[in-house]
Amino acid sequence: MKMQIKHITLWLLVVLAAPAVAQIPSLTSEATNTNLNRIDGKTTGVVYYVSAEANNNFFLQKDWVIGILKLEDGTIFRNVRMRYQAHDDELIVYNNNLRTLFIIDKEIVKSFTVQVGTKVIRFEKLYFDGFQKGDRYFQDLYKGTSKLLAFHFIDDVKINPYTDRYGILRDKEYRPAVHYYLYNEKNGFSRLLMKRKSFLKVYPEHKKEIRKLFRKNHVFITDEEGLILALKLLEDSGIAN
């Protein structure tokens, strides 16, 4: 009897410790595709347990927001509670029926849109062929002939050890960061910095024209609006087409 109890206890521990992968057949109350019970059409993901450290440092949004999730097969889920976990580049959603958080499988996601206040923010999945190749979620800042994209991430920075208010020893802090890219299907990704010289590197054959265009229109790139303005001018002039 004691041996049986030990085996049962061990089996329970293994089950509880294993990563939980689940299908999410009813993610939201509204879906444009009603054929959600087929295996290939179900949203799948890994159960996510959010720690206090992750909740305070890893997410792009401070709170849960309402969003729209679009899958590669065309299925669209609306009114989904979600947050983008920028530390690991993952989309976390809350399933009302199961009352559980899930990391949505990235391979089945096409895009997602969230609303923060009055601002609508759209992310799309693209294959990044630079350092650390693979699928990533990029925020769409501007879409013309080319796209202006932002990749959000959380930098782990080593610091001098200190004891926090809970008595826990810490030796790093988390700093939000963004990399900006110019993207089109022909040329792929080109990294952009908050400098006018970045565009000169992307279009080296038009250096003189770009300098003249930026001077004429008083373009100073110090924020995302400056990047968008610069790209629009380059497209309007035919340089970026």
Could you read off the pLDDT of 18-46 as tens digits, one per residue? 344 444 444 443 433 333 322 234 567 88
Domain contains 237: no
CA distance 241 to 236: 8
Taking the alpha carbons of 102, 63, 134, 235 in that order, is the dihedral positive or negative?
positive
Domain contains 230: no
Domain contains 46: yes
Domain contains 220: no
Alpha carbon 180 to its chain centroid, in Å, reads 13
In which domain, by residue range, is 152 found? 2-192
pTM: 0.81
Range among 21-25, 91-95, 135-139, 218-222 rated most confident:
135-139
Which tokens hold the place of 10? 């061990």
pLDDT of 169 = 87
Domain contains 82: yes
Domain contains 210: no
Domain count of the fold of the chain: 1
Domain contains 153: yes
Backbone phi, psi, residue 214, to 5°: -70, -40
Domain contains 32: yes
CA distance 198 to 241: 17
Q: Check whether 211 has a pLDDT greater than 90.
A: yes
